[in-house]
Structure 1
Amino acid sequence: MRQILLKAITGLEYGSLTYLLVLLFFGGGIVIRSQDIVAILVMSAAIGILGLLFNIDRLSYLLALVLHLLGTMVLVSLTEYWTDAFHGNLANYRFWLLFFSCYVVVWIVIKTKQVLQIEKINTALSKRNR
């Protein structure tokens, strides 16, 4: 249960920041409703929980990534379909171009954060073993 909560919080962090940045750069004139914010928060938490796929040892990293990407696409599609939270058109290639761009940027940020954490741990271990 703790892992689910932590993944949901991580999803909220990345999802909220991504949504705000997309609005900043591409959302000129869009009025954001309270229901949009709630929908984005719920969707972001669910995407974060999907991150548990990466903890399943039987799945290769590539398979977990593909499943996470597909699950994220489904969650984004359902959120847009049910709430129009993105004020976009799912049939528009620009919507999906922006989606994939955001996904790649978030993935790069997460991988960079992981590398930095590993380096920090390795440095601490090497100091401890001296």
Structure 2
Amino acid sequence: MKKIFLKIIRGMEYGSLTYLLALLVSVQTIEITTKDIVGVLLMSAAIGLLTLIFTIDRLSYLAAIIIHLLGTFALVVLTDRLTGVFHGILNLNFWLIFVTAYLVIWLIIKVDQQTQVDRINAALKKAQTK
């Protein structure tokens, strides 16, 4: 249960930050409503839950990435259809931002994971030399 809660929170962290940064670089001025905020938070929580796909041992990493990307795409489209939060989902700029954001988040997660592995390995090496 704790793992699921942490995935939801992490998804909301990445999603809300990404949404705010996308608004920052957006060329259009839009009004953000409570419905927009709730939509982004719920969508981000669902995307966070979708990361549980990476814990399925039967799936290759590539398959998990593809499923996660397609699931994220579906959640973004569904959220926009329900709330209109993205104000221009048919716009090419939106999809460039989507793909860029997905790649940047993936890179950040990979760097974070590698940093954690390096710390663990360093601690194990230090413990072995004692």
| TM-score for both structures, normalised by structure 2 | 0.95
Q: Give the equivalent residue in structure 2 for 1:110.
A: 109
Distance 2:122 2:42 in 1: 37
Q: Which runs of 5+ in 1 are unaligned?
A: none
Q: Which runs of 5+ in 2 are unaligned?
A: none
Q: Which residues in structure 2 correspond to 1:3-18 (within 5 Å)?
A: 3-18=3-18
How many residues are matched?
Answer: 129
Q: Which residues in structure 2 correspond to 1:47-126 (within 5 Å)?
A: 47-89=47-89, 91-126=90-125
Matched AA of 1:99: F
Q: Which residues in structure 2 correspond to 1:9-28 (within 5 Å)?
A: 9-26=9-26, 28=28
Distance 2:46 2:96 in 1: 21
Matched AA of 1:120: R
| TM-score for both structures, normalised by structure 1 | 0.95
* CA positional deviation for 1:75: 0.2
- 1:95–1:28: structure 2 CA closer, same or farther, 3 Å change rule? closer
Distance 1:27 1:10 in 2: 28
Distance 2:96 2:29 in 1: 20
* RMSD of aligned Cα (Å): 1.1
4+ residue runs over 6 A deviation: none
